[in-house]
């Protein structure tokens, strides 16, 4: 026998009901998706994301990313001073190599200087030209020459000027590979991100990139410069003193902190300031917020007026954002830690007050009654009847806000209060120290992770959650 | 001669018990004192460091703590009824800031839903995938928004996109963790039922997981929206458009009336959002009980 749905009216009705509800559900889902899609499209148009994506400059981004993990040496040669090759770390005036690095060789006969790149290629600077030889993926050597050209100036006078040109390509500029850009007075050669040559009427400059954070441990001028981590450990363990007045360990420590290229000491102090802002701000907020929360709780304070006023006060303290508090306190305290501490404290008194007063109201009244029956005073009732119940919530919320405030403190710092946020902003605004930007970002990341781990460990130890 | 009061003779095991209790109590009070003293020491130390590095001293700062808002309010008061026109002038900026927050919250929540499904142990069998996605979300969450925002501002230029990207990244990380915790705590019976009928992975997520978790997802996303409105104001302050940028400008120009107008707008919006999200979340929790 074949069962048909039509033979069972009850089942049929149930089936139809499910069908209808499913259809409603289905169209509801589709409706939500269509609304979301409409919103996304309109936002795309409103924020003009399409034009921003077109304006986006990938060269700038790749330069930024390259600079976060690589360093470069500048080799500068002036056509008017053919004896002098200036080789400087990151082009700094203070960081000029006295002994040329291994990858640089100077021919004593011709006076030409050769830069060897890690891809096997070579760039040689002569008195009147730069030669690019042995380059992978190109068949011919390129020669960038400097020559005299006649030019008519604005008074109608003829004079000869120096101009760079690519030898052999004078009449066929279009045949040059795309990584050679030849403009009126300059030639810019960038075969890959790791090599760069600029030839101008006055000089030739080569940038040679290498992966890694150089001079991270010790400064360029330091007597320990160029020592690797393993060598540093070996020095620390060896008995022979480098500086007779200091032990090796204290020498290494002071030299590390005095590193000016990376600014370890400055950044450590800034990090300490940020942590202090977050820690003291949270601690003060929780100490002030807890008594206020007791006053704002229904089962403690009988006066409705007081309670409502406190509740609104909490709302305002919380609603005035940490940004606005920091603007207000920046005027009172000036740039410094107090601004950050007070901004965090004021915002979090509101948050703690609200959370804790709710927790107090939700506390079990039986314990308090039990203590009351033994003839305890009101203070003792609260101390032994309520505090043990809300302590776990208090601790876990304090720790949670400590984590969140470490991030807030970084942000307030960037607004002007100081600390690591300001250092980050400063490093980014220099426009070329992106390895420092990466270093500070890494430092913030590690600190936030350490505080997160510590606070969750503390939470587990104290309240087992 | 009055009879000496003899102590109640307790059985030996109870005496041991009492002694042990007294020891525990002593230890506890020592711990409590230690905690109080170390906390006080931390506060004292931090305050010392702060007063060393601060431009102005604590007492002088406290005496003029609210000078700035009072000055600004006085400015606004002198404006009279014209102040309200300034408030309306900045309404479009406020809407722009709110829209940045809303857009990035929507985008971040969608990404977080996808990532959290891939990071939940009851939906994915491979520990490797789960670990990779969880660590990615940790990474997204750990940076303050301002770090990503400043980098994108440098790369893209001054407009809203850096703020959107930075807030979206942070939201994805923060919500992804909460979402995956919600998914891991669901009732597995619908999931098993769908598996027994041969439902594919997508269908299992769609019909067994989403109906259970969507209310909590929505309530977390609402909470996040409020946080993101604050964040997008702050990012405007460093150059990402919206009302934050307007605030920065008028603070530089010391236009008291305009500063108070913008602050009033911001505070009202945040308090309003706070109330709305509280009521909506209570409604959501109660209607799905």
- The Cα–Cα gap between A120 and A220 comes to 27
Residues of A in contact with B267 (CB under 8 A): 316, 319-321, 324
Give the CA distances from residue B244 to residues B73, B90, B234, in Å, rounded to whole numbers and listed in that order: 19, 11, 6
Q: Across residues A176-186, what is the average pLDDT?
A: 85
Residue A321 has pLDDT above 80, yes or no: yes
The two three-digit tokens of residue A303, written as one number: 């006066």
Residue A89 has pLDDT above 90, yes or no: no
CA nearest to B206 within chain A: A29
Query: What tens digit of pLDDT does each residue of A93-141 get?
Result: 778 888 888 888 888 888 888 888 888 888 888 888 888 888 887 777 8
Residue B53: which of A61, A337, A414 has the nearest Cβ? Answer: A337
Give the Cβ contact number of residue A308 at 10 Å: 11
Residue B246 has pLDDT above 80, yes or no: yes
Give the Cβ contact number of residue A21 at 10 Å: 10
DSSP A51-112: HHHHH--HHHHHHHHHHHHEEEEEEEEETT-TT-EEEEETT-SS-B-SSPPTTEEE-TTT--
Question: Which residue intervals of B80-157 are DSSP H helices?
Answer: 82-89, 91-118, 127-142, 145-156
Q: Are A285 and A349 in contact (CB under 8 A)?
A: yes
Residues of A in contact with B139 (CB under 8 A): 445
CB-neighbour burial class of residue A221 (10 A; exposed 0-12, middle 13-18, buried 19+): middle
Residue A321: which of B49, B142, B266 has the nearest Cβ? Answer: B266
Percent of chain A whose predicted confidence (pLDDT) is above 90: 17
Q: Round the CA-based radius of gyration of chain B to a whole number and report it.
A: 28
Q: Across residues A267-289, what is the average pLDDT?
A: 93
Residue A337 has pLDDT above 60, yes or no: yes
Q: How confident is the model at residue B229 (pLDDT cuts 50, 70, 90)?
A: very high
Residue B143: which of A52, A322, A445 has the nearest Cβ? Answer: A445
Task: For residue A326, give the H/E element and its range.
Answer: helix A322-333
A415 contact B CB<8A: yes
- The Cα–Cα gap between B172 and B165 comes to 10
Task: Give residue B231's pLDDT.
Answer: 92
A403 contact B CB<8A: no
Residue A408: which of A396, A392, A420 has the closest Cα? A420
Q: Are A395 and A386 in contact (CB under 8 A)?
A: no
Q: How confident is the model at residue A148 (pLDDT cuts 50, 70, 90)?
A: confident
- End-to-end, the C-alpha distance of chain B in Å comes to 73
Query: What tens digit of pLDDT does each residue of A415-456 get?
Result: 888 889 899 988 888 877 788 889 999 999 999 889 988 988
Weakest mean pLDDT among A147-156, A346-355, B86-95: A147-156
Task: Give residue A310's pLDDT.
Answer: 92
CA nearest to A35 within chain B: B106
Residue B48: which of B58, B38, B63, B62 has the closest Cα? B58
Task: Give residue A35's pLDDT.
Answer: 92
Residue B16 has pLDDT above 70, yes or no: yes
| Angle ∠(A146,A150,A155) on CA atoms, nearest 5 | 130
Contact A333 B69 (CB under 8 A): no
Query: What tens digit of pLDDT does each residue of B143-168 get?
Result: 888 889 988 888 888 888 889 999 99
Residue B225 has pLDDT above 90, yes or no: yes
Query: Beta strands A203-211 and A70-78: pairing type?
Result: antiparallel
- The Cα–Cα gap between A234 and A236 comes to 5
A253 contact B CB<8A: no
Task: Give residue B3's pLDDT.
Answer: 55
Contact A334 B144 (CB under 8 A): no
Domain ranges within chain B, ordered by starting residue: 12-43, 81-287
Residue ranges of E strands in A82-202: 85-89, 104-106, 113-116, 122-125, 129-133, 142-152, 158-166, 180-182, 187-189, 195-199
- How far does the CA of residue A189 sit from the closest CA of chain B (Å)? 23
Q: Which of residues 214-253 of B touch A (CB under 8 A)?
A: 230, 233-234, 237-238, 244, 247, 251
B207 contact A CB<8A: no
Residues of B in contact with A408 (CB under 8 A): 144
Give the Cβ contact number of residue B141 at 10 Å: 19
Residue B272, φ and ψ in degrees, nearest 5: -60, -50
Q: Are B193 and B203 in contact (CB under 8 A)?
A: no
Residue B207 has pLDDT above 80, yes or no: yes
Q: How confident is the model at residue B111 (pLDDT cuts 50, 70, 90)?
A: very high
- The Cα–Cα gap between B5 and A155 comes to 124
Pick the CATH number of B81-287 from 3.40.630.10, 3.30.465.10, 3.20.20.10, 1.10.3720.10: 1.10.3720.10
Chain-wide mean pLDDT for chain A?
86
Q: Which residues contact A386 (CB under 8 A, 6 or more apart)?
A: A300, A360, A363, A367, A368
Percent of chain A whose predicted confidence (pLDDT) is above 70: 99
Q: How confident is the model at residue B55 (pLDDT cuts 50, 70, 90)?
A: low
Task: For residue A208, give the H/E element and its range.
Answer: strand A203-211
Query: What tens digit of pLDDT does each residue of A391-420 get?
Result: 888 888 898 899 899 989 998 888 888 889
CA nearest to A343 within chain B: B65
Domains (range + CATH), chain A: 73-211 (no CATH), 264-463 (1.10.3720.10)
Weakest mean pLDDT among A169-183, A365-379, B246-260: A169-183
For the stretch A357-370, what's the b/e string if a residue is b when 16 or more beta carbons lie within 10 angstroms of its beta carbon? bbbbeebeeeebee
Q: Are A346 and A284 in contact (CB under 8 A)?
A: no
Q: Across residues A214-234, what is the average pLDDT?
A: 79
Q: Round the CA-based radius of gyration of chain A to a whole number and report it.
A: 35
Q: How confident is the model at residue A373 (pLDDT cuts 50, 70, 90)?
A: very high
Residue B271: which of A319, A342, A444 has the nearest Cβ? Answer: A319
- Residue A180's beta-bridge partner residues? A189
A59 contact B CB<8A: no
Task: Give residue A285's pLDDT.
Answer: 94
Residue B2 has pLDDT above 70, yes or no: no
Helix axes A434-463, A264-296, angle to 10 degrees: 40
Task: Give residue B12's pLDDT.
Answer: 84
Residues of A in contact with B238 (CB under 8 A): 414, 425
Residue B197, φ and ψ in degrees, nearest 5: -90, 0
- How far does the CA of residue A347 sit from the closest CA of chain B (Å)? 12
Chain-wide mean pLDDT for chain B?
87
Contact A47 B161 (CB under 8 A): yes
Q: How confident is the model at residue A286 (pLDDT cuts 50, 70, 90)?
A: very high
DSSP B8: P
Contact A55 B157 (CB under 8 A): yes
């Amino acid at each position: 026998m074949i069962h048909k749905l039509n033979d069972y009216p009850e089942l049929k009705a149930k089936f139809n009901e499910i069908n209808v509800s499913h259809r409603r559900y289905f169209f509801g889902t589709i409706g939500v998706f269509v609304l979301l899609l409409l919103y996304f499209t309109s936002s795309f148009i409103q924020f003009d994301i399409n034009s921003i994506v077109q304006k986006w400059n990938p060269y700038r981004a790749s330069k930024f990313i390259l600079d976060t993990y690589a360093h470069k040496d500048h080799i500068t040669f002036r056509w008017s001073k053919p004896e002098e090759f200036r080789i400087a770390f990151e082009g700094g005036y203070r960081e000029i190599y006295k002994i040329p690095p291994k990858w640089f060789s100077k021919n004593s006969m011709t006076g030409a200087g050769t830069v060897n790149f890690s891809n096997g290629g070579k760039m040689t600077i002569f008195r009147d030209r730069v030669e690019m030889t042995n380059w992978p993926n190109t068949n011919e050597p390129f020669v960038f020459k400097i020559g005299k050209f006649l030019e008519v100036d604005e008074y109608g006078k003829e004079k000869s000027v120096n101009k760079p040109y690519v030898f052999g390509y004078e009449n066929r500029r279009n045949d040059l590979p795309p990584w050679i850009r030849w403009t009126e007075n300059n030639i810019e050669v960038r075969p890959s991100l790791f090599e760069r040559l600029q030839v101008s009427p006055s000089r030739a400059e080569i940038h040679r990139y290498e992966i890694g954070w150089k001079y991270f441990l010790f400064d360029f001028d330091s007597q320990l410069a160029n020592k690797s981590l393993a060598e540093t450990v070996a020095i620390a363990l060896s008995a022979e003193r480098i500086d007779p007045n200091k032990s090796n360990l204290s020498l290494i420590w002071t030299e590390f902190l005095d590193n000016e290229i990376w600014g370890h000491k400055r950044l450590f102090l800034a990090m300490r300031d940020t942590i202090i802002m977050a820690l003291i701000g949270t601690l003060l907020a929780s100490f002030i917020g807890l008594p206020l929360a007791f006053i704002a709780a229904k089962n403690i304070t009988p006066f409705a007026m007081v309670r409502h006023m406190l509740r609104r006060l909490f709302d305002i303290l919380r609603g005035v954002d940490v940004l606005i508090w920091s603007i207000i306190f920046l005027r009172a305290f000036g740039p410094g830690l107090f601004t950050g501490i007070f901004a965090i404290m004021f915002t979090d008194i509101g948050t703690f007050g609200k959370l804790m007063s709710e927790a107090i109201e939700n506390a079990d009244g039986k314990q308090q009654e039990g203590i009351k029956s033994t003839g305890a005073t009101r203070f003792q009732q609260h101390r032994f009847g309520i505090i043990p119940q809300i302590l776990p919530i208090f601790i876990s919320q304090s720790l949670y806000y400590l984590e969140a405030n470490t991030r807030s403190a970084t942000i307030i710092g960037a607004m002007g209060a100081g600390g690591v946020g300001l250092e980050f902003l400063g490093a980014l605004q220099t426009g070329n120290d992106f390895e420092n930007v990466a270093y500070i970002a890494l430092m913030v990341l590690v600190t936030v992770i350490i505080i997160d781990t510590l606070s969750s460990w503390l939470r587990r130890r104290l309240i087992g959650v | 001669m009055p009879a000496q009061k003899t102590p109640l003779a307790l059985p030996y095991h109870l005496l041991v018990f009492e002694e042990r209790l007294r020891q525990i109590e002593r230890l506890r009070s020592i711990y409590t004192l230690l905690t109080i003293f170390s906390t006080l020491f931390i506060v004292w130390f931090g305050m010392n460091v702060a007063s060393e590095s601060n431009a102005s001293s604590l007492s002088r700062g406290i005496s003029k703590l609210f000078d700035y808002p009072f000055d600004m309010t006085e400015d606004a008061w002198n404006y009279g009824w014209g102040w309200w026109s300034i408030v309306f002038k900045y309404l479009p900026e406020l809407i722009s800031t709110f829209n940045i927050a809303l857009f990035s919250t929507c985008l971040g929540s969608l990404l977080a839903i996808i990532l959290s499904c891939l990071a939940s142990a009851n939906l994915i069998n491979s520990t490797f995938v789960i670990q990779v996605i969880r660590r990615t979300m940790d990474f997204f969450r750990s940076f303050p928004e301002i770090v990503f925002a400043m980098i994108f501002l440098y790369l893209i230029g001054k407009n809203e996109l850096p703020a959107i990207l930075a807030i979206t990244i942070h939201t994805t990380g923060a919500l992804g963790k909460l979402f995956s915790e919600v998914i891991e705590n669901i009732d597995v019976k619908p999931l098993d039922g769908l598996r027994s009928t041969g439902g594919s992975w997508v269908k299992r997520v769609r019909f067994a997981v989403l109906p259970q978790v969507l209310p909590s997802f929505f309530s977390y996303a609402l909470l996040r929206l409020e946080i993101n409105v604050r964040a997008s104001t702050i990012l405007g302050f460093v150059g990402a458009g919206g009302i934050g940028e307007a605030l920065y400008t008028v603070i530089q120009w010391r236009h008291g009336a305009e500063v108070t107008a913008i602050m009033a707008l911001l505070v009202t919006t945040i308090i309003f959002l706070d109330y709305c999200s509280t009521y909506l979340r209570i409604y959501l929790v109660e209607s799905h009980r």
